[in-house]
Chains A and B, each alone.
Chain A
């Protein structure tokens, strides 16, 4: 418990005393929001995971693709 408390104090004090770090944290959070909430969800679905329920169906689809794309 003491260790966790020390760890919490360590990060709390560190964050409090930041200068340029605060701006950077804001930038990092905006960036991560744009990446994971906007881009990943709306623009970058994992096609195979979205369209198929199991690995066997994914393998079957890619196998078919590999054959058809050579024609």
Chain B
């Protein structure tokens, strides 16, 4: 039975990860390319130069292909909530209802309305109205992502809510705390800005392809200039939101930070690793060095600074978080896993007492006990300390791949800008730019792996682990739909790549849409 359950949780997680990963192939290009084509159209309206209109229309066509193929792929995640994650779905229903409804009604309809003016309205509406529609399409897509990311951030940091024992769900107590939680805001900006970087890399890469073919040189160089400036600015902003992410993770999900760095034993003045190779077979309390080799970034205490804004701060390792006993930022002593597990079990027991109580006073008393230890409610479902540790190699390597690629993109943007006057003749750099397109996607996917695998075993941080969130269904049905999705999404991806490649080959001279 345990194997079946483990398999059910694993397959449900795999299916959700597959859907989210494919969905995230489409979304960032919509957000990133959207800004770049809007800037180009703005230049057209301001200067009246037809070349900017041609450029804007070309990138808009690729935006359209990506938008059409990707649209509604995120809705499948909502199907999965209702079928595979019904306990979770009920538990968060009151919190997610508002953001997802706003996303559906306001943002989606905003996109849907203005995108048609953007594509059909070139000769039908004024230049300024068309430009406004283009910007509003991109704004709609961005606002759409805001609500999804707010929902995701709430799972990492469940602010603005309280548990109601009678309804067995977390209920929203403060909408603004949910929307403007520091985790949600940082997540929104970090994610959207990473999409801007991807859009920039895409434009530079595709433009480089034209240069390699010695076609559309003027168009390509102009596109590269816009994208490189926008990309460099976005990358620098991404550094600041990246620091914000590390800070919030350190404050609210210390296990995730420890796993991101392969840090088993906590340190003061902890260094950030540049690269490292993990040993296999490491257990959290064997005291051995977890690395075959490692190279730290040569800035002492960088990890401490990232997590705590203090180069001398103590960063707890995996072992510290499980064994407790260290002083937390708020001055309190961290509880051990065993203590948290015990409190979680007490809280769940109180829920059971609440359920069986018939007298109002007994219900109230049980509810008081439940809420007293509610902060540890989810620990009552975790069997052993090892289950608290996410997949260390996957999170560690994903984090470092993301960071290394982020650094690489900054260098690429700088080099492209520095050599922009000679760029037309530097073929190796054009090839590097072209082959950087998949790297931008890898960086984005790696970022989501860190965020989502790094918070395991939690569906909702500290409150609901995945084994309690999952539905009572057969693993077989989830396996079947996993492969259906794999086929469906792969077909869509192949279609997108084929149509997009065809459009790129036609070039900006073709009348498109």
Question: Which residues in A have some Cβ–Cβ distance to B below 8 Å?
Answer: 10-11, 13-15, 17-21, 23-25, 27-28, 31-32, 34-35, 39-40, 43-49, 55, 58-60, 62-67, 69-70
Contacts and interface: CB of A to CB of B under 8 A. Distances in A.
A10 B269 CA distance: 64
Given A35-B72, A47-B83, A66-B468, A20 B503 contact: yes
B439 interface: no
B473 A66 contact: no
Interface in B63-81: 64-65, 68-69, 71-72, 75-76, 79-80
Interface string B327-350: 000000000000000000100100
12 contacts: A11-B116, A20-B502, A21-B513, A24-B65, A24-B68, A43-B484, A62-B90, A63-B351, A66-B87, A67-B351, A70-B345, A70-B348
A20 B499 contact: yes
Contacts of B80: 44
B495 A27 contact: yes
B499 A66 contact: no
A49 B81 CA distance: 12
Nearest to B352: A67
B119 interface: yes
B370 to A, nearest CB: 11
A29 to B, nearest CB: 10
Instruction: Name the 6 nearest CB pairs between A and B, nearest first.
Output: A14-B120, A46-B82, A44-B79, A24-B68, A63-B168, A47-B86
Contacts of B116: 10-11, 14
A65 B87 contact: yes
A44 B481 contact: yes
A55 B116 CA distance: 40
Contacts of A58: 90
A20 to B, nearest CB: 6
Among A24, A46, A49, chain B packs the most CB atoms within 10 A around the CB of A24
Given A43-B480, A47-B83, A70-B348, A21 B119 contact: yes
Interface string B452-496: 000000000000000110011100010011001000100010010
A66 B472 CA distance: 12
Contacts of A46: 82-83, 86, 89
Interface of B: 61, 64-65, 68-69, 71-72, 75-76, 79-80, 82-83, 86-87, 89-91, 116, 119-121, 124, 165-169, 345, 348, 351-352, 355, 380-381, 467-468, 471-473, 477, 480-481, 484, 488, 492, 495, 499, 502-503, 511-513
Contact of A24 (B82, B90, B499): B499
A45 B82 CA distance: 7
B82 A47 contact: yes
B6 to A, nearest CB: 13
B278 to A, nearest CB: 32
Among A13, A59, A66, chain B packs the most CB atoms within 10 A around the CB of A66
B513 A20 contact: yes
Given A10-B120, A47-B83, A66 B351 contact: yes
A41 B380 CA distance: 35
Contacts of B165: 63
A43 B272 CA distance: 45
A46 to B, nearest CB: 4
Nearest to B511: A19
A62 B502 CA distance: 50
B492 A31 contact: yes
B162 to A, nearest CB: 15
A11 B468 CA distance: 49
A70 B69 contact: no
A31 B87 CA distance: 28
Contacts of B75: 35
Contacts of A47: 82-83, 86, 471, 473
A21 B60 CA distance: 12
Given A59-B168, A62-B169, A67-B348, A48 B86 contact: yes
Contacts of B64: 20-21, 24
